[in-house]
Amino acid sequence: MEEKFAISIYVCNKPGVLVRLAQTFARRGYNVDSLVVSPAHDANFSRITVVVQGEPSTYDQILRQLNKLIDVVHATSHQTTDVVDREMALFKVRVDPSQRAEIFQIVEVFRAKTVDITDHSLVIETTGDSLKIDALENLLGPMGLLEMVRSGKLIMKRGLEET
């Protein structure tokens, strides 16, 4: 039975690091669901957040292999209880003028924002956890969802301990 796992990886900011990380997941048959790379507060390092899907039996082995890679400072697995996690999503919805009020109500309930409006479409922006974004997608789908783009999961450890 495959499961989803969130891993944050602190790496040296050098060319080729991402390729070596991706190969580690591919060799073990893990599929990458989302990948976010951003600079760390020190320009010599980057933070990578990966959500992967695969077999739990090989998960610890992947973490050990990631931590052995030369440019990896540390790779850490996270439970949902010890981190704050967020995603951002943009939704493009086909909308008739008669539907706008209903869609605006949904946007308000989800604390989302309308960031673009034309005669026949809206672009809606939201941030939150994966479940919130999934729920908004499910509501907008039957109303004329044309397109969706998600950022991938961002993770930060709670408290004083570094992510």
Quick: pLDDT tens for 25-84.
888 878 888 899 999 989 899 999 998 887 777 788 888 999 999 999 999 887 767 888
pTM of structure: 0.79
The confidence score (pLDDT) of residue 154 equals 87
Who's near 54: CB < 8 A, 6+ residues apart? 2, 3, 5, 25, 28, 29, 30, 31, 62
Report how far residue 28's alpha carbon sits from residue 125's, in angstroms, rounded to the nearest whole number. 35
Strand segments, DSSP code E, in the chain are: 3-12, 31-39, 45-54, 72-78, 83-94, 113-117, 121-128, 145-150, 154-157
What are the structural domains of the chain? 3-78 (3.30.70.260), 86-154 (3.30.70.1150)
Phi-psi region of 103 (alpha: psi -120 to 50; beta: other; left: phi over 0): alpha
Q: Using one digit for the tens of pLDDT, what is the confidence trace for 1-26?
A: 777 888 999 999 999 999 989 888 88
**Predicted pLDDT at 47:** 94
Asked whether the beta carbons of 14 and 20 are under 8 A apart, the reply is no
Is it the case that residue 132 has pLDDT exceeding 90? yes
